Amino acid sequence: MEVTITVNGTAVTRDVEPRMLLVHFVRDELGLTGTHWACDTTNCGACTLWVDDTPVKSCTMLAVMADGHTVRTVEDLDTGGQLNPLQEGFMQEHGLQCGFCTPGMLMTGQWLLDRDPDPDEATIREAISGNLCRCTGYENIVRAVRWAAEHGNGEAEATDDDASADVETSDEVTA
Amino acid sequence: MQVPETFDYERASTVEDAIQRLTAHGDEARVIAGGHSLLPMMKLRLAVPEVLIDINDLPGLDHVRLDGDELAIGALVRHAAILDDPILGEHYPIFADAERKIADPLVRNRGTIGGSLCQADPAEDLSAVVTALKGSCVIQSANGRRTVPMREFHTGPWETAVGDAELLVEVRIPVRTSVGSSYHKVERRVGDWAVAAAGAFVQLDGDTIAAVGLGLSAVGAPDMTCPDAEQALVGGPASAEAFAEAARIVHDAVSPTADQRGPVDYKRHLAGELTRRALTDAARRARSGSDPVDSEEGNA
């Protein structure tokens, strides 16, 4: 059936099977492979993206359920290649090793910071408790979110920065 | 890669529209709201509906409000909203206690109270909460609405009183004064089902227990409660000894099964001990008149 979903600000229309999961829609139909797909069981959070400004695990939502709604993926966090403060925080604090969980961590972390610009460690750990990381032990991820909180966090701030793109840095985090 | 069997998808616009669609499709159709129980079952092909009827757009099902002498909770209220709701927080902190331990924040953004109750999983938490509070479920069909007590709502594991052409639309909880409530759950890790969980409300008349309710999850308690323990408490003192005795009754009454979450004796121990803690915290909250979020005792 035909669905129209506004993904990262652009309305896209595709004809999909009702059983297609949202994670496969953004990855396979739209080529937005920043959203990762792993456990398939609503546990790991690698597939976290926003639907109507709320993070959800997109392996447990049908694409047809997002028809008429807005979706935001990790590809939308930077501004013209300029990392936002949370992405920058992950780089500064070594918040990733293999990087597989990073898109989900970023989408959950950004949602937290949008609601709570100065979260303490316990709040951060609770917020990301649905996102599994098997490399960092979470310490550096918590530090990365704190780094963003201490360095402007909000995306409005990021757009105020020099818009010159640091392509090398950008690729490193979104790969 | 887990892929559901093929199905047709329909989106209902109103409760009446949803019921018409359910009537048309009979038992081939399933309602989907948050989908965080149904979709995993469909991916494992444990559920193979021919038609999914999406009710996320239905108006008038996402409310939490005082309605006369009851709290009314719309079936589409999401876990995250229950966790943060000021009315529920004021009257029954048991909801927030439980929600903090239900799945994880991302799952709580999607899952609904209606879906949780209709899933009828014997290890589910909100069913135990509503059971403890002696709430009821409002079911709508083409013929109007009927109300079923929570303790009769589940007719078996994964089975409910909701018929093929019916929809759970609201959960109702009696408002009580001088009341406290609490929920204690032991889980192996964040987001897991309960190894065991117990919830309670205690209504005080001075130091006497005027009314009490128990809800038990994952321990094989019939109707997710223990009437013998409740009856032993009513009319008596809200004392540590009384709560220990109630815990002993629960310990002996439940019939958990051994699985990867633990052996029978451990779960039986938890059922009793978590009952004691839930009663203790509920009574403390009833006495204080306020609703402190943190309990004095952590989880085991």
| Residue of B201, B248, B226 whose CA lies nearest to B88 | B201
Contacts by residues A109-117 (CB-CB < 8 Å, ≥ 24 positions apart):
A109/A141, A109/A144, A109/A145, A109/A148, A110/A77, A110/A84, A110/A86, A110/A155, A111/A50, A111/A53, A111/A54, A111/A55, A112/A145, A113/A86, A113/A145, A113/A148, A113/A149, A113/A153, A113/A154, A114/A154, A117/A149, A117/A153, A117/A154
User: Does A93 lie in the same domain as A161?
Assistant: yes
User: Does A152 lie in the same domain as A124?
Assistant: yes
pLDDT at A107 exceeding the cut of 60: yes
Length of chain A: 175
A162: domain CATH number?
Answer: 1.10.150.120
User: Does A145 lie in the same domain as A66?
Assistant: no
| B8-54 CATH choice from 1.10.490.10, 2.40.10.220, 3.40.50.300, 3.30.43.10 | 3.30.43.10
Complex confidence, ipTM: 0.92
Nearest CA in chain A to B32: A65
**Residue A152: predicted pLDDT:** 83
User: Does A67 lie in the same domain as A115?
Assistant: no
- Cβ within 8 Å, pair A19-B54: no
Question: Alpha-carbon distance B299 to A107, whole Å?
Answer: 30
Nearest CA in chain B to A132: B190
User: Does A53 lie in the same domain as A131?
Assistant: no
**Residue A153: predicted pLDDT:** 72
**Residue B161: predicted pLDDT:** 98
**Residue B1: predicted pLDDT:** 85
Partners of residue B6 in chain A, C-beta under 8 Å: 17-19
pLDDT at A160 exceeding the cut of 80: no
User: Does A153 lie in the same domain as A118?
Assistant: yes
Dihedral-angle region of residue B75 (phi above 0 means left; psi in -120 to 50 means alpha; beta otherwise): alpha
**Residue B284: predicted pLDDT:** 98
Among candidate residues A44, A59, A76, the one where a domain is terminated = A76
Residue A35, amino acid: T
Range of the domain at A54: 2-76
**Residue A164: predicted pLDDT:** 41
Average model confidence (pLDDT) across chain A: 90
User: Does A142 lie in the same domain as A104?
Assistant: yes
Domain count of chain A?
2
- Cβ within 8 Å, pair B1-A40: yes
- Cβ within 8 Å, pair B9-A45: no
User: Does A157 lie in the same domain as A89?
Assistant: yes
> Please, what CATH class does the domain formed by B64-174 belong to?
alpha beta
Domain B179-286: give its CATH code.
3.30.390.50
Among candidate residues A76, A95, A114, the one where a domain is terminated = A76
Among candidate residues A76, A108, A123, the one where a domain is terminated = A76
A46: domain CATH number?
Answer: 3.10.20.30
pLDDT at A175 exceeding the cut of 90: no
Contact between residue B214 and residue B200 where contact means Cβ atoms under 8 Å apart: yes
End-to-end CA gap in chain B: 37
pLDDT tens, N- to C-terminus, chain B (300 residues): 889 999 999 999 999 999 999 999 999 999 999 999 999 999 999 999 999 999 999 999 999 999 999 999 999 999 999 999 999 999 999 999 999 999 999 999 999 999 999 999 999 999 999 999 999 999 999 999 999 999 999 999 999 999 999 999 999 999 999 999 999 999 998 888 999 999 999 999 999 999 999 999 999 999 999 999 999 999 999 999 999 999 999 999 999 999 999 999 999 999 999 999 999 999 999 999 754 444 444 444
- Cβ within 8 Å, pair A18-B52: yes
Nearest CA in chain A to B4: A19
- Cβ within 8 Å, pair A55-B40: no
User: Does A117 lie in the same domain as A91?
Assistant: yes
How much is the average pLDDT of A107-125?
97
- Domain ranges, ordered by start, for chain B: 8-54, 64-174, 179-286
What contacts A139, CB < 8 A, 6 or more positions away? none
pLDDT in tens, A14-60: 999 999 999 999 999 999 999 999 999 999 999 999 999 999 999 99
pLDDT band of residue A157 (cuts 50, 70, 90) is very low
Chain A nearest C-alpha distance from B192 (Å) = 9
User: Does A105 lie in the same domain as A31?
Assistant: no
Q: Please tell me whether residue A157 adopts helix, strand or coil conformation.
A: helix
Residue B127, amino acid: S
**Residue B155: predicted pLDDT:** 97
When CB atoms are compared, the residue of B56, B106, B191 closest to A65 is B56
pLDDT band of residue A100 (cuts 50, 70, 90) is very high
